[in-house]
Homo-oligomer: A and B are copies of this chain.
Amino acid sequence: MLYIIGLGLADEYDITLKGLNAIKQCERVYLEAYTSMLLVGQERLESLYEKKVIIADREMVEQQSDEILQNADKINVAFLVVGDPFGATTHTDLVLRANELGIEVKAIHNSSIMNAIGATGLQLYNFGQTISMVFFTESWRPDSWYEKIKENSSIGLHTLCLLDIKVKEQSIENLARGRKIYEPPRYMTTNQAISQLLEIEQSRNERAYTPETVAVAVARIGADSQKIAVGSLKQLQSVDMGEPLHSLVLVGCRLHILEAEILRSFAVDLPELDKIFARDFKMD
């Protein structure tokens, strides 16, 4: 059996009793460690599980998935995922591969940013499609997300923006020379995300959003150090959200008055926020 087990968002105690019990039955335990991360290290997990945890990087999951699945038709193997098992396309691939090999798969669910974002006071049913934003480089500035924000915004919906993380990445030079030297991990901040958003709006100029658009910056959701800040994109551009992981929500104009009420409690500048609400939103 392959157990794909969601770990939730913050630390080792966010696992469910069901998830922990499954791990106890497993001979090998892998931790997917490149699409997201907990705020605690591997050793904290190992100490709770009383098991060794094998870090599975992108290369292992995408190219050596048969190693993970080895013997899983006879023994139990755990594949741990930060958030919920089905947060990333990668894990769908693993399920398909297991199906091909005749290995039974069981998912054990947990919270993920996709539903925990409700902590902002925004109602989950008012969100449109989710976008992922990658780090721009000199030569690669992909903005296919712009169209999606525009679609959501045109029908008044909120957009959750998931921000890039880069772990165990090689520089182009090291990659070219086949040197297994890795760059330090990088996690996109809400400030970087807002810069990229505003750059693309400036060049496309289709008003999918503006510097005045109300947004919600979130960091470390589910942890004691969780931080939520609400303001215009322009205001949030200079707000320091602290340690990773960060996410950002662009607020749609169909905002409900109850949502607004909670957002107000996180305002970086309440009079300014109320001014934007009065000007741009028709709440009922």
- Residues of A at the B interface (CB closer than 8 Å) are 6, 8-9, 11-18, 20-21, 83-87, 89, 92-93, 95-96, 99, 107-112, 114-116, 118-119, 121, 123-132, 151, 155, 157, 162, 221-222, 258-259, 261-262, 265
Cβ contact of A86, chosen from B20, B107, B124, cutoff 8 A: B124
- Give Cα distance in the complex from A108 to B12, angstroms: 13
Are B17 and A13 in contact, with the CB atoms below 8 A? Answer: yes
Are B258 and A92 in contact, with the CB atoms below 8 A? Answer: yes
Are B130 and A124 in contact, with the CB atoms below 8 A? Answer: yes
Are A125 and B118 in contact, with the CB atoms below 8 A? Answer: no
**In the assembly, how many copies of this chain are there?**
2
- Give Cα distance in the complex from A96 to B8, angstroms: 25
Residues in B with CB closer than 8 Å to A262 are 92, 95-96
Cβ contact of A16, chosen from B16, B84, B155, B221, cutoff 8 A: B16
Cβ contact of A125, chosen from B20, B83, B132, cutoff 8 A: B132
Residues in B with CB closer than 8 Å to A127 are 129-130
Residues in B with CB closer than 8 Å to A258 are 89, 92-93, 96
- Give Cα distance in the complex from A222 to B22, angstroms: 14
Q: A13-B16, A86-B116, A109-B111 are in contact. List 14 more A-B contacts (CB 8 A).
A: A8-B109, A11-B18, A14-B109, A16-B17, A83-B115, A84-B116, A86-B119, A89-B258, A92-B121, A96-B258, A126-B129, A127-B129, A128-B129, A155-B155
